[in-house]
Amino acid sequence: NMALMGTATQSSLYGSIGVAQLAIDGNNDSNYRARSCTRTKYEKDPWWRLDLKDSRAVIKVVLTTRSDCCTSRMKGVQIRVGDSLENEGRNNFQCTPEKSVDSPEVTMRFCCNGVAGRYVTVFTLNRKNFLSICELEVFGYGSCVQFPGEKNVALTSEVMQSSLNDMKGIPEHAIDGNRKSHYSSLSCLYTQKEQDPWFRIDLREMHKVSAVTITNRADCCWNNLKGAEIHIGNSLKKKGLKNPMCAKINKTSPGYTESFCCDGMLGRFVTINIPGRQDFLTLCEVEVFGIPVPYPKINIALQGKAYQSSDYLTLGGAEHAIDGNSDGNYNGGRSCTHTTSSTNPWWRVDLHKPYRISRVFVANRGDCCEQRLLGAEVHVGNSLNNNGNDNPKCGTKITSTTKGKVHIFNCANMEGRYVSIIIPGQKKVLTLCEVEIYGATA
């Protein structure tokens, strides 16, 4: 019960025995005369508020009111959770009662779906009333884990979405650092109405993500986000929707900003989608808090075994690409591979067990023939079908190069035992002067 660690205030005080703190004293006695219940004056829209001192994930709130009389005063009671004190907290997330509050009971339970918030506020609205609470219990867990040096890494990322409703709703608007929640402010994205619409952030490299914060639209359409899912991972399979799920948005309200704890999930891609129905996806800001995960410093290629599609001469054997020598002189350094001129030449290293591959470095020849590496692709996976070249592609193919250039492929933690390099096409020669692979055991 996190309420016991907080402090309480209320809109007014009826008498000295009805102070706000009595609702979080650990005493569930529901008789007002037992001096364990709060009480405001008879006033319009009375409220009581709990300050948890920090933003925490709230799953359930249990409210106990008076049993000696006056239970009906709690008719229509609302509980809201969030980080804002604007409008006394009325704009924060509204928790859902397990039973109708039109017929209030002495003890009522409210589901808050793990929403993050510092303040828990109880209201009776749109009438004059006394507000009396005998105990308020708040169940959940601490605020989202935070990593030293973390920041909103979405601000420097790339974005895509499944479609564009109009030019006012481009995906870049969702990472502009602006939480304005009216579409006319040019700070919201908007897809067409379609099956399973999605929006994706590419963080450019793998990150450890503590939380994702989403700001909904306030001018209209806020219910569109109900049921939306947040996925985080390194795969682009099914547009990134096969990655693990951080959270599902179960409740929506106009313009509300909600944080979802992701507890250090690892991934390069953050995808938000509405699954299982035709709808518009529209939202006004997505913030991703986390830190980059540095790639391991051990070159695991050195412990592998290399193969290639053919040998031009023994001087150009496959093992030369993983000998730790990046000398780019084929004849003088004796440290480069060389296939014959053939169709779809390839080179492959067997790492002996699966790894999560973060980066692959490929060094081109430095003495001549640098153009031969144009079109080269890197593939990572656990299959040897088509000599490993049917495995998923890491990064993009080489489209420009120079003598001795080292090309870096960001594989974003792709899993695989085999790393292959292939140049598709006829009459191609594959020459590599060093391949370095960095990753961690899968």
278: helix, strand or coil = strand
What's the pLDDT score for residue 295? 65
Mention every residue, 6+ apart, whose C-beta is less than 8 A from residue 103.
75
Q: How many CA atoms lie within 13 A of 57 on its CB side?
A: 17
Q: For each successive 10 residues of the chain (442 residues), what is the average pLDDT?
A: 90 90 92 91 95 88 93 93 92 92 92 89 93 94 80 95 96 95 96 97 90 93 94 85 87 83 87 96 96 82 96 89 89 87 97 93 92 96 94 93 89 92 96 93 82
Six-digit token pair at 334?
């004796």
The pair phi, psi for residue 167, each rounded to 5°, is -70, -15
Beta-bridge mates of residue 215: 257, 285
What's the pLDDT score for residue 217? 94
pTM of the model: 0.53
Mention every residue, 6+ apart, whose C-beta is less than 8 A from residue 192.
163, 164, 165, 280
330: helix, strand or coil = helix
What's the pLDDT score for residue 228? 95
Identify each DSSP E strand in 26-92 by its residue range: 43-44, 47-64, 78-82
In this chain, the answer to whether the domains covering 2-141 and 151-292 adopt an identical fold is yes
Residue 111 in contact with residue 89, Cβ under 8 Å?
Answer: no
362: helix, strand or coil = strand
What's the pLDDT score for residue 325? 87
What's the pLDDT score for residue 366? 86
CATH number of 151-292: 2.60.120.260
* 331 secondary structure, DSSP code: H
Element housing 333 (H / E): helix 330-333
What's the pLDDT score for residue 332? 76
Burial 13-25, CB ≥16 within 10 A → b, else e: ebeeebbbebbbb
- In angstroms, the CA 348 to CA 341 distance is 17
What's the pLDDT score for residue 296? 65
Q: What topology does CATH give the domain 2-141?
A: Jelly Rolls (2.60.120)
Residue 182 in contact with residue 254, Cβ under 8 Å?
Answer: no
What's the pLDDT score for residue 298? 84
Mention every residue, 6+ apart, whose C-beta is less than 8 A from residue 52.
2, 3, 5, 6, 117, 118, 119, 120, 138
Q: How many helices and strands in the chain, by DSSP H and E?
A: 1, 26
The pair phi, psi for residue 174, each rounded to 5°, is -80, -10
What are the domain boundaries of the chain? 2-141, 151-292, 300-441
Residue 419 in contact with residue 344, Cβ under 8 Å?
Answer: no
What's the pLDDT score for residue 55? 83
CATH number of 300-441: 2.60.120.260
Query: What Å distances lie between residue 65 and 126, 155, 428, CA to CA?
Result: 20, 46, 80
